[in-house]
Amino acid sequence: MARVFITGSSDGLGLTAAQLLVEQGHSVVLHARSQQRADETQNKFPAAESVVVGDLTSIAQTRYVADQVNNLGIFDAVIHNAGIGYREPKRMVTEDGLSHLLAVNTIAPYILTALITRPKRLVYLSSMLHKNGDPSLNDLTWADRPWLGQQAYSDTKLHDVLLAFAVARRWPGVLSNALEPGWVPTKMGGSSATDDMDQAHRTQVWLAVSDDPVALVSGEYFYHMEKRHPHPATRDAGLQDRLLNFCFRVTGVELPS
């Protein structure tokens, strides 16, 4: 049996993945952004071991999430599922001066990766739109350019793959991979999404706990349990390190070597 922590798991793909893990005999710890949502989640899914609380738009609260997870002990896998979409009509700014998209989709998984006691496996949810991301890494906070929600989202999903591959390179003892769940009719994907909802949560579960030799790899990108070719820039070690350095400057949290 594995212990798995899943971010952004009070509903959507995170909760669906948790349900599948429990069906398979594993233990899961969930995450909600507020105590109210945590209580609701625990009530509707009492099989969860616990629910940690923290708003990932906040650096301080994200650090607190890491503290709560570490206080629960060692985990076999962490699934970085939490994310917000691109329908924000304007640049929304966090208490730390970041866009909401950057804070939740890029900075939060970086902080949690750096601070949670190192598990055996790390899984990062990206998107097919990461291929439209800007690999220049210029103006990541969108402070000096007109806001384009879909582009900002695509950028952060590129960051998720860069982070996954950077960790795979720096931590050879950890299996670190990224995936796209497909365009599915979740709260984020919307009702017009056309991909298979039944498949959307299975790859992250498979990467987190499976003994399938295809899943026991690191530094790869998947869709529906098959390897896919990510944006070529994600393989650039220099670009990976530039993103890590930016995250360190913003947060004061350093990814251990």
Residues serving a catalytic function are 153, 157
What is the rounded distance in angstroms from the CA atom of residue 11 to the CA atom of residue 153? 20
Q: How far apart are the first and last CA of the chain?
A: 28
Task: Read off the tokens for 170.
Answer: 């720096």
Residue carrying the six token digits 């994200």: 62
**Cβ atoms 3, 29 nearer than 8 A:** yes
Residue 5: partners with Cβ closer than 8 Å, 6 or more residues away: 28, 29, 31, 52, 69, 75, 77, 78, 79, 116, 119
Q: Are 178 and 165 spatial neighbours (Cβ–Cβ below 8 Å)?
A: yes
Phi first, then psi: give them for residue 164, nearest 5 degrees: -60, -45
Q: What are phi and psi of 166, to 5 degrees?
A: -65, -45
Q: How far is CA 246 from the centre of its chain?
A: 18
